[in-house]
Every structure is written in C-alpha cells, then in structure tokens.
Chains A and B, each alone.
Chain A
Amino acid sequence: QKEVEQDPGPLSVPEGAIVSLNCTYSNSAFQYFMWYRQYSRKGPELLMYTYSSGNKEDGRFTAQVDKSSKYISLFIRDSQPSDSATYLCAMSEAGTDKLIFGTGTRLQVFP
C-alpha cells in the first residue's frame, strides 16, 4: 500500500462545474498538506498549502484536511478550461522537508 493514494482520473467536467479532488494517506505523522498543479511538459507548481486539519480558501480553490479520516480534498469552483492539468497532493511530517506525493489526478475542463 502506498503512503498516499490518489485516483489518477482522468476527470472530465464542463466549464463552470465544481470539481472535487481527493487523496487518502496512511501515515498519521503527516502534518503539512499541499496541492500542486502540473501542466503538460512542465514542473509542478504549488497551489495550496495547509497545516494540520481545517479548511483554507484562495479564490476559486478550497483545500480541506481531515486528519481523523486521513483524507484531504481540493475543491475548484467555477472551473475553467485553463484549470485543465494534473493535480498532485503532497504531504510531509513535522521536522522534515521531504514531500511525499500522490500519483496525481488528470483534470480536463471542456468549454
């Protein structure tokens, strides 16, 4: 079993839809949770960063962390074709900067 599980998709939605992306994990020591976005043939870029449990909102993006269920989510409201990319969750333990990534979910938003 991988430390971090993520459905690879692809997920195809119409423009304007609400998108929900999820990851589960097994390591209860994870304290920092991130979402990265990766466009084709590019390196990943940080989208959202949260510490411990709770919600964080940034524009159309909301990140949720439920440590009791070992489950994290990223919601995208009013999705746009420019959101079409692969979304990777990542997490790390306190005291280390080593990030463990999920496999990524490929999202396609069609006009």
Chain B
Amino acid sequence: GAGVSQSPSNKVTEKGKDVELRCDPISGHTALYWYRQSLGQGLEFLIYFQGNSAPDKSGLPSDRFSAERTGGSVSTLTIQRTQQEDSAVYLCASSRQKNTGELFFGEGSRLTVL
C-alpha cells in the first residue's frame, strides 16, 4: 500500500518489559512524526524527524522513550521498562512538504501494559 504502515497494530505487554513500535512512512516523505493518543487526551506530540536535521525530541515524556529513524525512512519508537500509564495508541505520521499542515497518519499501534 501507499500509506503509512505501522506495526504491530496491537501489543499487550507486562509492566517492566521493553517494546518497539515500527513506522514505515510514505515513500519520499522527508518528515516523520510520532504522536500518542490516550482516551480523552487528544494527540500528544512525542518526536519529529525532518530530513537530516536533529530530531525534535521535546515531547518525549521520559528517558524511557526513544526513537530513531534509519536511512531517512523507517522509524522505531522504543519504550523501555513500560508502565501502565504508557498504555495508549501510538500514531506515526509523515509529510512531504513543510508548512502544509498535511500529515498522513498510519492506523496506529495500540499498546496495553498490564
């Protein structure tokens, strides 16, 4: 497909385990975003990659969260020592141009921490 692809679509893990969430953006899109969506909280910005620039990590909630983007394409969001409050839908988006406001979102990875 030509859209943003995320995996896994669902992940159930135990408290304290590490998880990795993957995002495959639309080909040719230079910008990649991670957001978190919790019930009643809207979309919370986590991190933003733009080309070869240093990522904007200002939204990462703690040092347990990290993300990387390899080769300017695929991105992995890693959550270490998961906590129950990390349970949410993690959405990835990509965009082609600056200042268009048009982000193309994947369907998200639903994380449940028991």
Partner-B contacts on A (CB < 8 A): 4, 6, 8, 32-34, 41-46, 49, 88, 90, 92, 94, 97-104
Number of A-B pairs, beta carbon distance below 8 Å: 61
What is the bound-complex CA distance between A32 and B48, given in angstroms? Answer: 17
Chain B interface size range: 20 to 34
Which of A34, A42, A88, A103 has most B Cβ within 10 Å? A103
Hey, which bits of chain B sit against chain A, CB under 8 A?
Answer: 4, 31, 33, 35, 40-45, 48, 50, 56, 58, 91, 93, 95, 98-108
Cβ contact within 8 Å between B107 and A42: yes
CB distance from A74 to the nearest CB of B (A): 14
Residues of chain A lying within 8 A (CB to CB) of residue B105:
43-45
- How many angstroms between the C-alpha atoms of A10 and B95 in the bound complex? 30
Pick the contact of A43: B31, B91, B98, B102 (CB < 8 A). B91
What's the Cα separation between A102 and B108 when bound, in Å?
Answer: 18
- Cα distance A43–B37 when bound, in Å? 10
Pick from A32, A41, A46, A101: contact of B35, CB below 8 A: A101
Chain B residue at minimum C-beta to C-beta distance from A42: B107
